[in-house]
Amino acid sequence: MSVELGDKVPAFDLPASLGRRVSAASLLGQFYVVYFYPKADTPGCTKEACGFEEALAALGHTGLTVIGISKDKITALEKFAEKYGLKFPLASDLDGQVVEAFGAWVEKSMYGRKYMGIDRSTFLIGKDGRIAQIWRNVKVPGHATAVIDAAKALG
């Protein structure tokens, strides 16, 4: 299962860092970004999260919500957010239903071994609750800035 440009965003309601909850229903009517990452507090995921934090800070207060989603436990996400001063929500999708609904659960290969894992991917959601832009197989350097720029262009 995978979403395409113009599709309605899959429904989600997840626990997030700092005692928050994030849901598609509560964000309807505003632009927001959902990004999927493999594991909290690993080098690539840390660079990506810090990149989003820095890009949001550079914009000042725009009201754009960025949500990072992984299959990590909420306790791991809390530690990750605290360690790097991440103010945006990091959501826990333990059972992977949201990851799968967005098509971010994929077969990967490392050293000839195949396994299932999270594809580093990002989705810009429009005010109408539809997918406005998709980035798959994300390369971290410069990605957060590109996503924030795309959100600014829509808004």
As to burial, measured by CB atoms within 10 angstroms (0-12 exposed, 13-18 middle, 19+ buried), residue 134 is middle
- Of 14, 22, 33, 45, the active-site residue reads 45
- Rounded to whole angstroms, what are the CA distances from 110 to 27, 42, 105, 114, 115? 37, 17, 16, 7, 8
User: How far is the C-alpha of 85 from the C-alpha of 133, rounded, in Å?
Assistant: 27
Residue 103 sits at the vertex; the CA angle it makes with 124 and 43, to the nearest 5 degrees, is 75
Q: Is 45 a catalytic residue?
A: yes
70, containing H or E segment = strand 65-70
Q: Measured between alpha carbons, how far is 65 from 89 in angstroms, rounded to an integer?
A: 8
Give me the active site residues, please.
Answer: 45
